[in-house]
Amino acid sequence: MDITILILVIILLPALLGLSWFAGSDAPYVPTKIKDITDLLKKSGLKKGHIFYELGSGDGRVVLAAAGLGAIATGIEQSWIRVWQSRIHAKKLQLKDTEFIHGNIFDRQYFPSDVLFIFLLQPAVDRLEKKLRNELKKGSLVITQTFHFKNWQPIKKIDLTENHKNRLGKNLFAGDFYVYKV
Ligand SMILES: C[S@@+](CC[C@H](N)C(=O)[O-])C[C@H]1O[C@@H](n2cnc3c(N)ncnc32)[C@H](O)[C@@H]1O
């Protein structure tokens, strides 16, 4: 093999793999901060026995936290790597009521949901706003992070800045969370 091609493969392959790790059609992979998740789910109203969905579930951390609180939790994620990573985490934690589905969030329906969480870019949130209004049952809750529904009125804004105080007592960045009730 020509040396130039070999060097290109050695440089390009890891770069492509690295980029594919962060890729996502409706949002790049940016995980929710671990120390926010359990607080967020409790404050949003998630209860034992609730059916929980996460659309674009990343490495599964939010689904696993929901299952840890007693929910029957499902994540849908388009990256195979992250789906397998999530399944391995679930197995390690021996969390049975979890499922991680590989696929596109727009190809499914979520009518059994009691609580649904999304952390996606605004165009996807806009599309979901219409879709979820039509298919979720009355009373179910939707949590959005950073990018929110434009036409629904939130019932709650959850402030977790307390979790992000540094040693000097200053608040560092925390995502903002809204809860909507259908
Ligand atoms: C901003 S990250 C949030 C990850 C996780 N929800 C969290 O809060 O830690 C968005 C995730 O959604 C996934 N994603 C983006 N568009 C998607 C789609 N159309 N179908 C399924 N997953 C998608 C990405 O691969 C990425 O893992």
**Hey, where are the domains in the chain?**
26-181
Ligand 1 centre to CA of 82 (Å) is 9
How far apart, in whole angstroms, are the C-alpha atoms of residue 41 and residue 153?
19
Helix, strand, coil shares of the chain, percent, nearest 5, are 40, 20, 40
Superfamily of 26-181 according to CATH: Vaccinia Virus protein VP39 (3.40.50.150)
Determine the 3-state secondary structure of 166 from DSSP: coil
Q: Which atom of ligand 1 is nearest to the CA of 105?
A: 20
From CA 124, how far away is CA 26, in angstroms rounded?
Answer: 6
161 Cα distance to chain centroid: 19
> Ligand 1: which atom is nearest the Cα of residue 61?
9
Specify the amino acid at residue 171.
N
Compute, in angstroms, the gap from residue 22 CA to the centroid of ligand 1.
10
> Which pLDDT tens digits describe the chain residue by residue (182 residues)?
677 777 767 776 666 666 555 666 899 999 998 888 999 999 999 999 999 999 999 999 999 999 999 999 999 999 999 999 999 999 999 988 899 999 999 999 999 999 999 999 999 999 999 999 999 999 999 999 999 999 999 999 998 877 777 766 666 666 789 999 99
